[in-house]
Every structure is written in structure tokens, then in C-alpha cells.
Amino acid sequence: MSQATKERFLVSPFLVFFLITGTQVGIGMLSFQRLVMKEAGHDAWIAVILTGIIAHLLIWVMYKLFAHSPNAEDIVSIHQRYFGKWAGFVFSFALLVYFSLLAFTVLQTYIEIIKIWMFPLMGAWQFSLIFLVLTYYAVLGGFRVVTGLCFWSVVIPLLTIFPMLFFPLEYAHYRNLLPIFDHSIGEIFSGAKAMSLQYLGMEMLLVYYPFIKQPEKSLKWAQWGNAFTTLLYLSVMLIAITFYNEEQIQHITWPTLTLAKIPEVPFIERMEYIIISVYVLVVFPIICIAVWSASRIAKKLFSIKQRRFVPMVLLLLFIGTLWFEEKEQIERLNKWISTIGLYIVVFYIPALYIYVTAANKIKK
Amino acid sequence: MSIFSFFKETKTNGEEKTLQQLLNKLRQSSDFITVEFAVNGHLLAIYYFDSLVDPKVLQQHILCHLQNDVPKHPTITLEDLQKIIPIQRIEVTNDVQMIEEKILKGFVAVQFQKTDNRVALINVANESLGLRPNNDSENEFSVVGPKVGFVENVGTNLHLIRRQIATPNLVFREMPLGTMSKTKVVVAYIDGITNKQTIETVIQRLENINFDIIFDNSLIDQILSDNSNSPFPLFISTERVDRAIYALASGQVVILCDGSPYVVIGPSTFFDFFTSPEDYYLPWVLGSFFRLIRFFGVMFSVLASPVYIAVLTYHYEMIPKDLLGPIIFSRSNVPFPPILEVLFLEITIELLREAGARLPTKVAQTLGIVGGIVIGQASVEAGLTSTIMLIIVSLAALASFTTPIFKMSNTIRFIRFPIILFSALWGGVGIIFAVCFLLIHLGRLQSFGNPYLVPFYPLRVRNFKDSIIRSSYSQTAERPTFLRPLALFRYNPLKAKQKDDIDE
């Protein structure tokens, strides 16, 4: 079943940097400060670093998991080998559903933001349609094209959005950061738990791992990617802590967007419109990779062509967006899917790794 | 016989089996000449197309020698003609197909006996008749640097290339293309530099071409293209000799085609289309600066009017208080939404350009002034458009003309319209949707199997030295690695980099 993936479909190891960062940084970047600061207050930045370190460990575990097999494999093959045909099928299928739902949640949440900030009267279906058509076009281009999108999704927002966020430092109160370690370890850890949702997305590595040229060499780049994500979150968090006070931030739904209202230049103001627009580029690769991963799993499970499966998923997503209209539903979905993701990344992957290691030992 | 038999391959070989049948067929044209005369027991016959041969060469080098020298050699055969006729590469053959081809390309066929099926083919084609002798490369003008351009005659073009690359490794591979035109197409590359696989791809694709008449190299360009549905040109076509030579030296393949003053260069990348040979003739700081200006021009040209539409239609909160006054002032008389305003002006400019291109140069200049100034001014005064819009659209048009390669500047003017439409529908989000679409599209494109967006994606940091900026020559000793050249260095990098200590 595992045919060697042809060389020209593979991506260079260092592109894993963009794949990891591109999939980790998403909608959450606009609102994560509130949730983390609720738990850890002005020490939230410690929680960010802590979560970053845990994510480093988890990435290492993922690479270790793959190191057990001689050829580059994806999670489906590992499931099949260690759990047998049926149990393996169930686990892989669960991942397929998870990735599809992930794509759906990201899409739905972003459309919600567009509706609230920009076009309150416009139907959600328009955006979801154009998004899904674009996704179709990108995913049919193959993994290389999707990776290319990831690359742009890191570079372009970094050049356009990121500098904007530094303007509010003009009004920053650096004393907000003091006193450091004002919160207990428990509080910081629950902040880290809230933060961990922002690192989700890296689990898609489980599927695209065999599409990396010399995958074992890409560990370094994956770690750099994760470090870069941490750096982004950390700087945005620090800006938010120094700009807002602790009470105020609990009443702001999207603190990052509100930050962008501050900068003013002679020819333009209200930069949050630029951020929301450019955020298409941030969100879009996540949807693409999630749909690609789902279709890749489907290809291996049902031996259905990806070309066929992708339109089916996209159609389901489209019908889904017609269905979900209320904000509460979306919130609930968001919470639900991020909890699942958290369990997959933090509990399932290490457990799988321990199981695989043990199974290998027993065999010997 | 089915009605579709027309589409089946007709056997042209089967029709004219013998030389006599071929000659009878050719005689239908009045410019096909048969000269027969008896010399020394040989009944000589000469066949040629009067319209293709050079009469001077024919008289001085063929007729003269045949009449004077043949009597001196009583036992002369066709093979001995090379001894008495001072023209290179005389071929003797009885292959009717070949005789037909050669006669149609301006060769003279000499026959010794009427019954003999063999003829000697002598090249007296008038290569340059009716073609311009030189080209000042006015379509890709540069102030500094040579102004030699390619011409319609492929022989001259090969000469222009060979003159500057004095290495035995420069290879010209000739292949006739076009079932009816039998156009001479030449693939040029430098052996030992150009990647073997690239050459193979090019040759193979050229061999697969099935077309009747090759009018111009741009036909080959389109047929060879990896994706024929893309508005983006995948190969550079240039009339500048220096550009073609630079491409050869960096490991690209150049395709020349008889009858076309443009050569096709591949594999090319998106960024190749924005480099001008002049960048290399100026100091690197200036060259880089103008290149950056060009990139900015492209971005501005593509995004300026969409952003204007998006901001004025949906995101008017983004306009600061001080800027609001002038915008209100200029738009207060305009009854249309911004999208109509933009479309009106954009289409006016496209019309002006198109009309200017179709008219004789002198008339076109007048038209430019009338159209540009009078219509622009009048439409503002009539309240059809606002002044700010007029400025933005004309600047965008101006910026799109900075692209050195004509094909790319056309593409840039074209892709503006879908983006305008997207921005009118979904504002800023729409613009980014369109940009996303462009990025995916560009990411999917390939030029002879090479990624189009290199060195950005796949990222090749080393090749940035000569992409957005043009680094100093001490930095650019390496050939672009994405072309996978067989030899990496163009010149010795150590010598170029050597620096003496201060005051020494």
C-alpha cells in the first residue's frame, strides 16, 4: 500500500518551517490574549513560553514516532501496522473526520469575523463558496502548491500585519508586566492549557511527513518553525499586556484587531480592515492542508482518488456553512474541536509513541 | 470511405513516387524554371524556383561553371560537381522527398541525364531577399548597451549569437517544423552548462509539435507552453541579442525560428520578466534601484485601482479625516459608484493603447495627446470621473508599461480586471482572494518543468542575489541554481572578490 512517493512531489526539509508556522498561526492569533490572561493575568507571557516548550517536545515525539519505521510513512500506515486492519481503520478515520471538522471550524470562524467586522449583511455562503473553490484549485495542485501557500501565508502577513501591531507601543505601560511571577504555577499552567489551542495544527505533520524530502532532517526546521510561532505569540502577547490592562482585556473579544485601530498614518487609518483582509492568506493554507490531509487519509483508507474525494469534502463543508449561522453554535463547535485536537496532540500522540516503542521492544 | 478520412494522415510520399511526377507537379507554377542544355554529350537539366534563388549566384557559380568546365571533364559524374562548382555542401540524392524539400527551400537541382533519377542539390537560396538587414531593438530599448536586435533571418541570428560566444560548446540543433512551412527552427544551448534534462525536454516538445505554418516564434512559445490556459507567459521572448546570450551563459535554452525576430528563452521564472539588460550595464546600486521601482510599479499597477474601489465602496472608515475632504470634493459631482468610474477609465486607457498600437506612429502620437489629455480633462469636467481616480488609473497604466517584456506587461494589464471585479464584490477580502488565486496559479505554473516562482517558492536564498536586486558582479559568479547547471560558476568568484587591505 505504501508506494514510495515520487521525488518531484516532495518538498525540501526547510519548508517544514513554513508548514509548521503556517498551520499553527491562525484565527486564534486575533483573540488568544483574553483566554490566556483570564488564567495567568499579566504573567500570561510565561504561559506562552511554557506552551511553546511543550510543543517543541511534542514535535520531537512525532519525529521519534516516525523514526521507528525505515521508510517515510504516514500515520495511516503506522495505525495499520500496530493496530491491525480494523482498529487502525477506526483511528485513521477518526483523524480524517477531525481534519475535515478542523477545516470547517477555521472556515466558519473566519467567515464569522468577516461578517462581524466588515460585511454584516452579506450571506456567509458567498465567502464559503469562494473559499472552497480556491481550496479546490489549490489542493488539486498537490502538496507542493499547498506548501507554497503556506510559505506565502507566513511571509506576506509577516511583512504587512506584524509591523502594524507595534504601533500601539507608543502608548505602552511597561509596568503592566511587573511584578513577574505574580501568579501561582497552577494558574500559569491553566494559562498554558488555554494557550495550547493556539499551537494546534502541527498534528497535520502526521499526514504530510512522507512528503518531505529526507524527513528525518526536517526536525530542526520543524523546531525552528515552532520557535518562530512562539516568538510571534510572545510578541503579540507582550504588546497586549503592556497596552491593555488586565481588566480591560476581558471585555475585548479580539484584542489583536483592536490593537490595529491605533496606528494612524496620513493616508490611512483603521488598519484592522487590512488585517482582516490579509488574514485570508493566514487562514487559507490551514484549510487547504486540512482538506489535503483528510483527502490523503481517505485515499489510503478507501483507495478513492483524491481528485474525487476533495470535491465531496468541500461540498460537505459548503453545506455545513449554510447550516451553521449563529455565533453560539460556532463558539461551541470551536471549543469542541479544539478540545479534541488538544487530546490528540497532548495525549494520543505520546501514548501512540509509547505503545509503538513497547510493541517494537516486545517483537525483538 | 468515411467522411472523416480527411483528418487522417494523408500520404504525401505516395503521390509523387518518381522524380518525373514531382517535376510535373512543380511545373504547374510559373516560377518553376527548367533549363536544359547539352554539353559534351551530357544532357544537362537544371531545376529551381526563380522566386527563391539568388540569380547572381546561379549565373556566376553554377551556370558559368557548368557551361565552361563540364566540357573539360568528359567522364564527369554528379559526385564530381563539387570539384568544379564553388558552392559548399553539394548533395547528390535520389530521394524524391528530399529533392522536393530542398527545391522548395531555394536549392537548385542539377540532373545529368533525363533518365537518371539522381540529382545534385546546390544551395543558392536567397536568404535575405525581402528581409530587413538589421533591427535596432526598439521594442526593448535600452539607453546604455548594444542596440543590436535579432532579425527575421535565422542565419543572421545564429551569426549574432556565435560571434559573442566563442566556445566550441555552443551547440545549435536545427529541426524543421511545420508540415507546410518546413520552417527552420534552431535550439541553441551551451553544452556542459545547460542541464541535460532541460535540453531533452525542449527537443522532445519541439519534436511533438504538429502544426502547418509557423508564422512566428510566439506560436512555438504557445505550443511549447506547460500550461496553455494561463495568461502568464512561461518563456521570455526577446529581440535583444545580449539578453539571449546572457540566458545561454546562465544555462537556459534559446529557441530561434526562421522568419521571427524574436527568440524564445526557457526555462524562465516570473522574475526574469522584470529584469532588463540595462540593469547589468548600470552600477549595481542603480540597477537594483530601478529593478525595485519596476516591481513596485507592477504591484501598484495591479493593486491601485482595486484598493481605491474597495476603500471607497466598503471601507470608507479607513480614510483619515484630512484625506476625506479632497476625496469628497473630487467625487461630489460623480454620480457613479467607484467600480463604474474605474471601469470607464480603465477601458478608455485600454482603447487608447490599442488604437495607438494599430495606427501609424505619427498618428498615434496625436491620438495619445488627444485621448490622454482631452478625454481625461473633459471626463472630469463632465462629472464622469473624479480627478483622484483619473490620477490613480493613469499612474497604474504608466506603471504597467515599465515591464521590459511586452508579453508580461500585457498580462499585468489583463489581471487587473479580475482583481477590480473581486474588489467591487468583496472589498479588501476580495482583493486578497484574488491575490490568493494568483499565488496558487503562479505556484502551479512550470516552465519546461521548472517552478515558475523560483527563487521565492521553492525558496532558493542563494539566487536572491540576482532577482529582486541586481548584486554587484563580485557576488554573481554563480549561475542560478534552480536551472541545475552542470557548471556552477560563470567566472572565478575568488578573483572577483579579492580585496586589498586599505592603504596597500
Residues B312 and B267 in one domain: no
Residues from chain B that touch A15, judged by Cβ atoms under 8 A, are 458-459
B377: pLDDT strictly greater than 90: no
The residue-averaged pLDDT of B422-438 equals 93
Report the residue from B314, B320, B456 with minimal CB separation from A269. B320
CATH topology of domain A12-363: Amino acid/polyamine transporter I (1.20.1740)
Q: At which of B223, B247, B279 does a domain end?
A: B279
Q: Report the pLDDT averaged over residues B63-73.
A: 82
Q: Give SS3 for A271.
A: coil
Which residues does chain A have within 8 Å of residue B299's beta carbon, measured at their own beta carbons? none
- The share of chain A scoring above pLDDT 90, in percent, equals 45
Dist. CA A154–CA A20, nearest whole Å: 10
Arithmetic mean of pLDDT, B23-36: 89
Q: Is A123 on the interface with B (CB under 8 A)?
A: no
Report yes or no: A160 at the B interface, CB cutoff 8 Å: no
Report yes or no on B71 lying in a domain. yes
Asked whether residue B302 falls in the same domain as residue B427, the answer is yes
State the pLDDT confidence band at B408, using cuts at 50, 70 and 90: very high
Chain B within 8 Å of A12 (Cβ-Cβ)? yes
Q: Distance (Å, rounded) from C-alpha B428 to C-alpha A280?
A: 10
Instruction: Indicate the average pLDDT of chain B.
Output: 87
Indicate whether B272 and B305 sit together in one domain.
Answer: no
pLDDT beyond 80 at B9: no
Q: Number of A to B CB contacts under 8 A, please give it.
A: 92
Could you tell me which chain B residue has the CA closest to the CA of A261? B318
For chain B, give the percent of residues with pLDDT over 70.
96
Window from A323-327, B106-110, B359-363 with minimum mean pLDDT = A323-327
Alpha-carbon gap, residue B488 to A327, rounded angstroms = 58
Query: Directed axis angle between helix B284-313 and helix B338-358, to 10°?
Result: 140
Angstrom distance (rounded) from CA A193 to CA B170? 65
User: In sequence order, which residues have a C-beta less than 8 Å from that of residue B57 and are 6 or more positions away?
Assistant: B87, B124
Distance in angstroms (rounded) separating the CA atoms of residues B332 and B351? 27
**Is residue B480 a contact partner of residue B250, using CB atoms and an 8 Å limit?**
yes
Q: What is the ipTM of this complex?
A: 0.91
Average pLDDT of span A175-198: 87
Question: B255 lies in a domain?
Answer: yes
Separation CA A308–CA A90 (nearest Å) = 22
Same structural domain, B382 and B305 = yes
Q: Please tell me whether residues B263 and B326 are part of one structural domain.
A: no
% of residues, chain A, pLDDT over 70: 99
Give the per-residue pLDDT at A134: 94
Q: What are the start-end ranges of the H helices in chain A? A: 16-24, 32-40, 44-67, 75-117, 124-140, 143-164, 185-196, 205-208, 219-243, 246-249, 255-259, 272-302, 306-323, 327-342, 349-363
Chain A closest CA to B457's CA: distance in Å?
Answer: 6
Cα-Cα end-to-end distance for chain A: 25
Cα pseudo-dihedral A144, A147, A148, A152, rounded to 10 = 180
**A282 lies within 8 A of chain B by CB:** no
The per-residue pLDDT for A137 is 93
Give the chain A residue nearest B443 (alpha carbons): A145
Confidence bin at B236 (pLDDT 50/70/90): very high
Stretch (H or E) spanning B141: none
Q: Given CB atoms, is A216 within the 8 Å cutoff of chain B?
A: no
Average pLDDT over residues A94-122: 90
CB-CB neighbors (< 8 A) of A10 in chain B: none
Q: Quick check: B1 pLDDT over 80?
A: no
Res. B91: pLDDT tops 50: yes
Query: Which tens digits make up the pLDDT trace of A292-349?
Result: 999 999 998 988 888 899 999 999 999 988 887 777 888 888 888 888 988 888 899 9
CA distance B439 to chain A (A): 7
Q: What is the mean pLDDT of residues B153-179?
A: 91
Mean local confidence (pLDDT), B147-152: 90
Check A149 against B429: CB less than 8 A apart: no
Span of A44-58, B352-366, B388-402 with lowest mean pLDDT: B352-366
Tell me: do B165 and B245 sit in the same domain.
yes
Q: Three-state SS for B452?
A: coil
- B268 and B303 part of one domain: no
Whether B324 has a pLDDT exceeding 50, the answer reads yes
pLDDT in tens, B312-323: 999 988 998 888
Element (H, E) at B245: helix B241-249
Beta-carbon separation of B426 and A148 below 8 A: no
* Confidence band of A2 (pLDDT split at 50, 70, 90): very low
Q: In the structure, what pLDDT confidence band is assigned to residue A4 with cuts at 50, 70 and 90?
A: low
- Tell me the average pLDDT across B118-129: 85
Triad B135, B139, B144: Cα angle to 5°: 80
H or E segment to which residue B225 belongs:
none
CA dihedral A17, A22, A23, A25 (to 10 degrees): 120
Neighbours of B447 (CB within 10 A): 26
Contacts of B314 in chain A (CB under 8 A): 118-119
One-letter amino acid of B105: K
Residue A214, pLDDT score = 87
Q: What are B173's strand-pairing partners?
A: B187
A136-160 per-position pLDDT tens digit = 999 999 999 999 999 999 999 999 9
| Alpha carbon of residue A38 to chain centroid | 22
Reply yes or no on whether the pLDDT at B64 is more than 50. yes
Residue B13 confidence class, pLDDT cut points 50, 70, 90: very low
Cβ–Cβ of A270/B318 closer than 8 Å? Answer: yes
Which residue from B340, B432, B347 is spatially nearest to B397, judged by alpha carbons?
A: B347
Amino acid identity for residue A307 in this structure: R
Dihedral class, residue A131 (left if φ above 0, else alpha if ψ from -120 to 50, else beta): alpha
Phi, psi of B49 (to 5 degrees): -95, 120
B177 & B303 share domain: no
pLDDT of B16 above 80: no
Encode B18-34: b = buried (16+ Cβ within 10 Å), e = exposed.
ebeebbeebeeeeebbe
Q: Which residues of A touch B457 (CB under 8 A)?
A: 148, 151-152
pLDDT band at A68 (very low <50, low <70, confident <90, very high): confident
Answer yes or no: is B335 within a domain.
yes
What are A7-50's pLDDT values in tens digits? 778 888 989 999 999 999 988 899 899 989 988 888 899 999 99
Chain centroid to CA A253: 20
Residue A193: is its pLDDT beyond 70? yes
Q: Which of A212, A225, A214, A200 is nearest to A18 (CA)?
A: A225
Task: State residue A5's pLDDT score.
Answer: 60
Q: Is the pLDDT of residue B6 over 70?
A: no
Q: ∠ CA B404-B410-B411 to the nearest 5 degrees?
A: 105
The C-alpha angle with vertex B25 and arms to B20 and B26, in degrees rounded to 5, equals 100
Residue B325 lies in a domain: yes
pLDDT the model gives residue B295 = 92
Q: Residue A153, Cα to own-chain centre: how many angstroms? A: 12
Query: How far apart, in whole angstroms, are the C-alpha atoms of residue A108 and residue A105?
Result: 5
A209 in contact with B at a CB cutoff of 8 Å?
Answer: no
Is B314 within 8 Å of A119 when comparing Cβ atoms? yes
Q: Under an 8 A CB cutoff, do A284 and B436 touch?
A: yes
Quick one: B192 and B115 in the same domain?
no
Give yes or no for residue B503 having a pLDDT over 90: no
For residue B269, the 8-state DSSP code is: -
**A118, A145, A278 ranked by CB distance to B427: nearest:** A118
Report residue B380 as a C-alpha cell: 472630469
How do the domains of chain A map onto residue ranges?
12-363
Can you say how many angstroms the Cα of residue A94 is from the centroid of all Cα atoms in its chain? Answer: 18
Name the DSSP class of B30. T
Taking CB atoms and an 8 Å limit, are B318 and A15 in contact across chains?
no
CA dist A134 and A288 (Å) reads 9
Count the residues in chain B. Answer: 504
Distance from B336 to chain A by nearest Cα, in Å?
21
Domain that holds residue B111: 3-123
**Contact list, B441 vs chain A (CB under 8 Å):** 137
**Residue B242 belongs to some domain of the structure:** yes
Query: Could you report the per-residue pLDDT of B188-201, keeping only the tens digit for each?
Result: 999 999 999 999 99
Q: What angle do CA A197, A202, A208 make, to 5 degrees?
A: 150
Please work out, in degrees rounded to the nearest 5, the angle formed at the alpha carbon of residue A156 by the alpha carbons of A153 and A158.
Answer: 95
Say yes or no: B18 and B103 in one domain.
yes
One domain for residues B303 and B415: yes
* Contact (CB<8Å) B457/A152: yes
Residue B150 in this model has a pLDDT that exceeds 90: yes
Question: Residue A91's pLDDT band (boundaries 50, 70, 90)?
Answer: very high
Q: How far is CA B337 from the centre of its chain?
A: 41
Whether the predicted pLDDT of B40 surpasses 90:
no
- Name the residue among A137, A138, A278 with its Cβ closest to that of B432: A278
Distance in Å, alpha carbon of A271 to nearest chain B alpha carbon: 7
Contact A281 B435 (CB under 8 A): yes
Q: What local confidence, expressed as pLDDT, does residue B101 receive?
A: 87
Is residue B222 located within the same domain as residue B302? no
State how many domains chain B has: 3
* Final residue in a domain of this structure, among B279, B301, B320: B279
Preceding omega of B458 cis (within 30 degrees of 0)? yes
Query: pLDDT digits over B243-291, tens only?
Result: 999 999 999 999 999 989 999 998 999 999 999 998 999 999 999 999 9
